[in-house]
Amino acid sequence: MGMVSSIYASIFGGNGSVDGPPDPATGLTPKEKEAITASWALLADKKEIRKNGVEFFIMLFEEFPYMQKKFDNFKGKEVSGLRKDKIMHGHALTVFYSIGTLVENLDDAEQLVLLASKIAHNHVSRDIGYTYFKDLADMFPKYLEARAGRAATPLVKESWNKFLGVLNSLIQQAEEEKKGST
C-alpha cells in the first residue's frame, strides 16, 4: 500500500516537491520526470505489464490500422484476437521493458539518448519512421486515460507528450542519417 500511495502522491502532487529547472538534454523538469516515472510504475506493474502492453498495441492497431501491416506475425489477423496471441504477448513485453529502461534513465541524459537512438535506428532500418512514432505519440494520452484512469492527469499526459517529442526528434534524426547514407 505504501508504494501505491506514494505513486498517487507523485502523480497528484501530494508529495510537496518543488519543481526545478528543466534538464538541458530532454527539457523535462523534475516534476515531469516524476510524473512519467510514477505513471509508468502503474503501467509496468508486474501483474499488469503484459496486459497493459497488449492493450497498447490493440489500441494502436485500432486507431492506426496501417501499423499492423508492418508486423508479419499480426498481418491480416483480427485485432481483438491478438489479446490471446503469444507472439503479441512477447512483443508487448519486449516493448514495455524497453520503455521501462528509457524511464529508468530519465536522470541520465547521455544513456537515455544512446538507448533512444538505438531504438530509433532499429525502427528506421525497417522503414518504421517518424510518422509511425508521431501517430503513437498522438494516441498515447488516450492510452494513458484508458489504462491509468484518473492517474492520467494533465501533468502526466503533458510530461509523456514532451518525452515522446524528444524520442521523436531522435527518430527524425535517424531518418535523416539513413537518407544521407543512401
Residue 12 has pLDDT above 50, yes or no: no
pLDDT band at 89 (very low <50, low <70, confident <90, very high): very high
Angle between helices 130-148 and 49-63 (to 10 degrees): 130
Distance CA 58, CA 65 (A): 10
φ and ψ at 152, to 5 degrees? -85, 70
Q: How do residues 99-137 score in pLDDT, each as one tens digit?
A: 999 999 999 989 999 999 999 999 999 999 999 999 999
The residue extents of the domains of the chain are 2-180
Residue 8 has pLDDT above 60, yes or no: no
- Residue 33, C-beta contacts closer than 8 angstroms, at least 6 positions apart: 23, 106, 107, 159
Distance CA 58, CA 29 (A): 31
Distance CA 155, CA 168 (A): 20
pTM score, whole prediction: 0.85
Report the phi/psi class of residue 19: left, alpha or beta, with left for phi > 0 and alpha for psi in -120 to 50.
Answer: beta
Residue type, 14: G
Q: What's the CATH code, domain 2-180?
A: 1.10.490.10
- % of the chain exceeding 90 in pLDDT: 79
Q: How do residues 130-169 score in pLDDT, each as one tens digit?
A: 999 999 999 999 999 999 999 999 999 999 999 999 999 9
pLDDT band at 179 (very low <50, low <70, confident <90, very high): confident
- Residue 15, C-beta contacts closer than 8 angstroms, at least 6 positions apart: 6, 9
